[in-house]
Structure 1
Amino acid sequence: MNFKQLEAFLWVAELQSFTKAARQLYISQPAISFQIKALEEDLQAPLFQRGDKKVMLTEAGRVLYPEAKKMLRHYQKIKEGLEDLKGLKTGHLMVGASTIPGEYILPLLIGGFKKKYPGIDITLKVAGSSQVARWVRQREIDLGITGVPYNNEGIHCVPWLKDQLILIAPPSHQWAKLIQGIAVADLKNGTMVLREQGSGTRRTLEKKLEEKKIDLDKIPCAMELGSTRAVITAVEAGLGVSIVSRYAVQEALELGRVVEVPLVGLDLARSLYQLRHSQGPGGFAVEAFVNFISDRDICKRFLRE
């Protein structure tokens, strides 16, 4: 049994497909089938049930799966520790982020970091804030960035960037020409397009409105969508108004596809947060990246603040 076989096993298990796993690993399907067959022969147990459209773990496969994940994480930590000794000439960093930082902020900063440290590979995984926090707790990523704070056991959370949520509307909307904006209580007279429940933006909005004794569930909602891009597109299409991150909507504002409506009486500023495992060993690569993205001048340069 070797780590390449375990990696192949995990990808097949997670994607439920030999073809998709082979594509993910940039090898042929016969090659990944050979890896799995060798692993099954070594363990003397079948690990997958082959179906017409997908493969499923056998009982033996379900026993191996969590242990294989632990072994590969441990192996990766050993590799990273050795690579760190080379003075950041090589290395690999796993970063997880919620939608706003993951789609609109971190790609720009990672580009700048790669110019300074071209030998360090960075993998960026984007998911909901709760999933990112789970990855941090389970040590599946080195650093998490979310739109809400987490102070659970096993997580060290610190504020990072300031993010401003703003009210947007299509140019044809009746609120679009109100230079003075609208009062927060007037939101109930509009129809909103919202992010799904549990998202960082949605939770921040719910908390801010609750401070004003306003229940978001009482405001008419046209639809809930799973991404900020989809929300902005829905507003552009005239399906309602929404409250989104300025980082996300900047391009649409500049192109005139949506307009910002001042919202009187509600402070929608929030922080984005850095999450790390409270007992994580750290490393030169992650420390260098955290220092890079925490530099205010660097953020201004790359994020056009």
Structure 2
Amino acid sequence: MELRTLRAFVEVVRQGGFSQAAETIFATQSTVSKAVRRLEDELGFPLLDRIGHRSTLTAVGEVVYRQAVGMLAQRDDLIAELDDLRGLKKGVLRLGLPLIGSNILFAQVFSVFRQRHPGIDVRLFEHGSDRLEEFLRAGEIDLAGSLLPVSEEFEWQAVWHEPLVALLRSDHALAGRSTLTLVDLKDTPFVLFETGFALNRIILDACRRHEFEPVIAAQSVQIDFLVELAAAGLGVAFLPRMIAERRRHPAVSHVLLHEPHTDWNMAMLWRRGAYLSHAASAWLVIVREVHATGRTSSLGQIGGGS
């Protein structure tokens, strides 16, 4: 069983098809298809149910996929550790940063990192936090920025803590309040980020704790567009306070969200028990230095669980 064959199979599952997987691993669709067939022949079980252009995992395929992801991640750990033992002057940091707040939190970190480690190639992955956690789980990136709480499969280092604010059109009945709860807003449509953003999950989980599902009027990946939608009266949007302050709009009021377990707690994550390369460790050191005064006492621990 070759790792390249496992990689082809994993990418077919992850990308949702053979042609997309072929583009990801820079191979032809025929090569990827043959690799999956070869793996099925070797194991003696079908791994995918092929229905038209769609493929879904069989029960055996789910087991193989889960184990293959772990094996590929261990391979990446081995390569990283051997590179460090060789004392390479140059290295790679595969860094996943979220689309919300990275410009504020990590631009200075990047600058300091470049000054101290000019030989390190930083490969940046930008997605919603939930998607970054998938990449991290699969060993495709070394570190990921995400929101706490996180699964016990990750270790983490705190970065920043901010409350959320609700963004409402200035003439909304609740716009003059000093604080709001989600229950106060349950009759107002929500304007949220796209699926895959941890902030969405945090807000929707809190709504479910209050036993209601909000009406979602719109979703987007663009902060400025969400602000404009709130200004147009489409519904209420939610942003971390420091980000909202940089997106002030004359037609939008900011009201502090007073809701337990909904604060924006940004952290850097890595896989629990995984080898942390010199490059990744150096990044974490600089994050601590740059944001040492920005973390609250409740988030001051390093490498804690969720």
In which range does the TM-score fall when normalised by the shorter chain? Answer: 0.5 to 0.7
Q: SS where residue 75 of structure 1 aligns?
A: helix
Larger-Rg structure: 1
The alignment's C-alpha RMSD in Å is 4.7
Partner of 1:159: 158
Aligned length: 283
Contact 1:49-1:55 within 8 A present in 2 as well:
yes
Q: SS where residue 182 of structure 1 aligns?
A: coil
Contact 2:178-2:256 within 8 A present in 1 as well:
yes
1:273 aligned onto 2:267: yes
- 1:275-296, CA deviations, whole angstroms, 9 ceiling, x for partnerless residues? 4455443221210111222332
- Partners of 2:201 and 2:69 in 1: how far apart? 32
1:236 aligned onto 2:231: yes
Residue pairs, 1:186-205, within 5 angstroms: 188=184, 191=188, 193=190, 195=192, 199-200=198-199, 203=202
- 1:139-181, CA deviations, whole angstroms, 9 ceiling, x for partnerless residues? 775434333345x6554444322435334344xx3269x9xx5
Q: Given the superposition, is the C-alpha separation of residues 299 and 41 from structure 1 closer, same or farther in structure 2, using an over 3 Å criterion?
A: farther
Structure with the larger helix share: 1
Q: SS where residue 100 of structure 2 aligns?
A: helix
- Partners of 1:95 and 1:15 in 2: how far apart? 18
- Partners of 1:147 and 1:59 in 2: how far apart? 32
1:182 aligned onto 2:177: yes
Which one-letter code corresponds to 1:293 in the other structure? V
Residue pairs, 1:1-305, within 5 angstroms: 1-43=1-43, 46-58=46-58, 60-85=60-85, 86-87=87-88, 89-95=90-96, 97=98, 100-101=100-101, 104-105=103-104, 108=107, 112=111, 113=113, 116-117=117-118, 119-124=120-125, 126-128=127-129, 142-150=142-150, 153-170=152-169, 173-174=170-171, 182-184=177-179, 188=184, 191=188, 193=190, 195=192, 199-200=198-199, 203=202, 223=217, 225=219, 229=223, 231-249=226-244, 252-253=247-248, 256=249, 259-261=252-254, 271-296=265-290
- Partners of 1:222 and 1:266 in 2: how far apart? 19
- Partners of 1:169 and 1:222 in 2: how far apart? 15
Q: Given the superposition, is the C-alpha separation of residues 284 and 40 from structure 1 closer, same or farther in structure 2, using an over 3 Å criterion?
A: same
Which one-letter code corresponds to 2:121 in the other structure? I
- Partners of 1:34 and 1:287 in 2: how far apart? 39
Q: Given the superposition, is the C-alpha separation of residues 36 and 271 from structure 1 closer, same or farther in structure 2, using an over 3 Å criterion?
A: closer
Cα deviation for residue 199 of structure 1 reads 4.4
- Partners of 2:250 and 2:139 in 1: how far apart? 41
- 1:177-209, CA deviations, whole angstroms, 9 ceiling, x for partnerless residues? x9xx533269948946354899447747998x9
Q: Given the superposition, is the C-alpha separation of residues 260 and 290 from structure 1 closer, same or farther in structure 2, using an over 3 Å criterion?
A: farther
What is the TM-score normalised by the length of structure 1? 0.66
What is the TM-score normalised by the length of structure 2? 0.66
Q: SS where residue 233 of structure 2 aligns?
A: coil
- Partners of 2:257 and 2:65 in 1: how far apart? 53
Unaligned runs of 5+ in 1: 210-214, 301-305
Partner of 1:303: none
Q: Given the superposition, is the C-alpha separation of residues 83 and 30 from structure 1 closer, same or farther in structure 2, using an over 3 Å criterion?
A: same
Unaligned runs of 5+ in 2: 295-306
Contact 1:165-1:243 within 8 A present in 2 as well:
yes
Q: Given the superposition, is the C-alpha separation of residues 80 and 55 from structure 1 closer, same or farther in structure 2, using an over 3 Å criterion?
A: same
